[in-house]
Amino acid sequence: MKFLDLAKVFIRSGGGGAGSVSFRREKFVEYGGPNGGDGGRGGDVWVEAVDGLNTLIDFRYQQHFFAKSGQHGMGSQMTGRSGEDIVLKVPVGTEVLEEDEETPIADLTEVGQRVMLARGGNGGWGNLHFKTSTNRAPRNANPGQPGVERTIWLRLKLIADAGLIGLPNAGKSTFLAAVSNARPKVADYPFTTLHPNLGVVGVDGREFVIADIPGLIEGASEGRGIGDRFLGHVERCAVLLHLIDGTSDDVVGDAQTVLTELEKYSPLLASKPRITALNKIDAMDAEEAAEKQAALAEALDLPVMQLSGHAKLGVTEVLRALWDQIAAGRAVELPDDQSADTWKP
């Protein structure tokens, strides 16, 4: 299945049915009076977050969604049938935006969450409503209200507990494949990952979700490369894992490049809790790894861990560090009598 995280959709709710102009026709009743029914109500347009979806690819092949209009009223005071609603089913984590791609309408973060995007028009009154003591045979009825037309954008931000960031070829996909059942493409050239991947990770009997996004390069915030298109997928993460290629000649410069692009994209994203790890330590000797680790720790002013996704060295320690940050974030929502240490997803 192809991955699509942005889609433009045109929606229209159903129009209300027109009211009926009708009169009673009975034998031996000369002036039966009005009995026109009301028009039916038009259908609404809803968006709903459902389980089992992780892409907006369906909206590439269908961009127009129209709810049914209500039926017109009929004689004998019969109200027209209301139009059927239409529901746009989207993955959990989908944002609904106005046509300008900036103004938010809804943010669907839970399964089953529903939001009305366009309300159907009310049906018109039949002539029965216009009968008065002085107008005993009204010959007018209301038309139904028209439906609402609007253009919206759907933007998917994957729901994950931790996000992987780094330059292309930093080993993010290799790490994800080593710690989960996910099978992202792994190769020895940059930009192997072209769309985000999700993996469920287990450590010490606990599970959480990691998102791997395409690598960032210098100038990503200005449109270079493709990584900036997918940074929104790690905005919801509780912690970021910053992987740095240990075989690089300038590990400090590589780390600063990624952090600079994060800051330019979103200061809020750059301020998230972050675990920094020197990757690919299996491709160098212990002395070189220690020197690069110390250089990174001094330049970034934070602890730096060592790991190798390929050889699975230091992986468990990194996962535990990620879980500590995730559990700390979840502890805010825990009951008072339940600590983060005892809580399990």
- Per the annotation, does 301 bind a ligand? no
- Per the annotation, does 308 bind a ligand? yes
- Per the annotation, does 195 bind a ligand? yes
CB atoms within 10 A of CB 17: 30
- Per the annotation, does 171 bind a ligand? yes
- Per the annotation, does 194 bind a ligand? yes
- Per the annotation, does 159 bind a ligand? no
CB atoms within 10 A of CB 32: 12
- Per the annotation, does 180 bind a ligand? no
CA angle 108, 337, 111 (to 5 degrees): 15
User: Which among 161, 125, 129 has a CA at the least distance from the CA of 143?
Assistant: 125
- Per the annotation, does 281 bind a ligand? yes
- Per the annotation, does 177 bind a ligand? no
- Per the annotation, does 89 bind a ligand? no
- Per the annotation, does 191 bind a ligand? yes
- Per the annotation, does 143 bind a ligand? no
- Per the annotation, does 27 bind a ligand? no
- Per the annotation, does 282 bind a ligand? yes
Is the Cα dihedral 293, 210, 106, 62 positive or negative? positive
- Per the annotation, does 170 bind a ligand? yes
Rounded to an integer, what distance in angstroms lies between the CA atom of residue 285 and that of residue 149?
Answer: 64
Rounded to an integer, what distance in angstroms lies between the CA atom of residue 179 and that of residue 183?
Answer: 10
Q: Where are the beta strands (DSSP E) in the chain?
A: 6-12, 45-50, 64-66, 86-91, 94-97, 104-108, 114-118, 149-156, 162-165, 197-203, 206-212, 239-245, 274-279, 304-306
Rounded to an integer, what distance in angstroms lies between the CA atom of residue 152 and that of residue 106?
Answer: 11
- Per the annotation, does 228 bind a ligand? no
- Per the annotation, does 166 bind a ligand? yes
- Per the annotation, does 169 bind a ligand? yes
Give backbone dihedrals phi and psi of 111, rounded to 5 degrees, phi first: -65, 135
- Per the annotation, does 214 bind a ligand? yes
The residue type found at 31 is Y
- Per the annotation, does 277 bind a ligand? no
Which are the contacts of 307, defined by CB distance < 8 A and separation ≥ 6? 175, 277, 278, 279, 281, 313, 314, 315, 317, 318
- Per the annotation, does 173 bind a ligand? yes
- Per the annotation, does 64 bind a ligand? no
Per the structure block, which two tokens stand in for 33?
């009076």
Question: Binding-site residues for Mg(2+), please?
Answer: 173, 193
Question: Binding-site residues for GTP, please?
Answer: 166-173, 191-195, 212-215, 279-282, 308-310
Question: Binding-site residues, please?
Answer: 166-173, 191-195, 212-215, 279-282, 308-310
